[in-house]
Amino acid sequence: DSGVTQTPKHLITATGQRVTLRCSPRSGDLSVYWYQQSLDQGLQFLIQYYNGEERAKGNILERFSAQQFPDLHSELNLSSLELGDSALYFCASSLSGTSPKRSYNEQFFGPGTRLTVL
């Protein structure tokens, strides 16, 4: 158990709909990351938040948005869903946003949310 929790575990919805995925980081971690793993693909970095502020952005579509709240939990909002958005969405957390020290770099991953768009 990494200490990172994600809800829901599974989500089935229809095209055009909007969903919200939720992530609670490990106790004490300030940084939250979102990754997408599509079928037969590696994990693609979407976005990072550090202590409530956006720190880095990856291949995140404009239809997707995220935020990190004062209690440090994060939500990933996916709207106007398309079939191709079906994937596993992982949240990870780390103590810091960037540091040369190994312990700060290490990202701990949650179990993921499996999104199916029909």
Partner 1 sequence: DQQVKQNSPSLSVQEGRISILNCDYTNSMFDYFLWYKKYPAEGPTFLISISSIKDKNEDGRFTVFLNKSAKHLSLHIVPSQPGDSAVYFCAARRNNAGNMLTFGGGTRLMVKP
Q: Is 93 in the site for partner 1 (CB under 8 A)?
A: no
What is the distance between the alpha carbons of residues 30 and 37, in angstroms, rounded to a whole number? 23
Q: Is 110 in the site for partner 1 (CB under 8 A)?
A: yes
Short-list 71, 87, 78, 80, CA closest to 24:
71
Q: Both tokens of residue 33?
A: 């990351």
Q: Is 56 in the site for partner 1 (CB under 8 A)?
A: yes
Q: Is 2 in the site for partner 1 (CB under 8 A)?
A: yes
Q: Which is nearer to partner 1, 71 or 101 (CB)?
A: 101
Residues 82/112, Cβ–Cβ less than 8 Å: no
Q: Which is nearer to partner 1, 46 or 117 (CB)?
A: 46
Residues 89, 64, 16, 6: is their CA dihedral positive or negative? positive
* Binds partner 1 (CB under 8 A): choice among 39, 70, 71, 102: 102
Q: Is 61 in the site for partner 1 (CB under 8 A)?
A: no
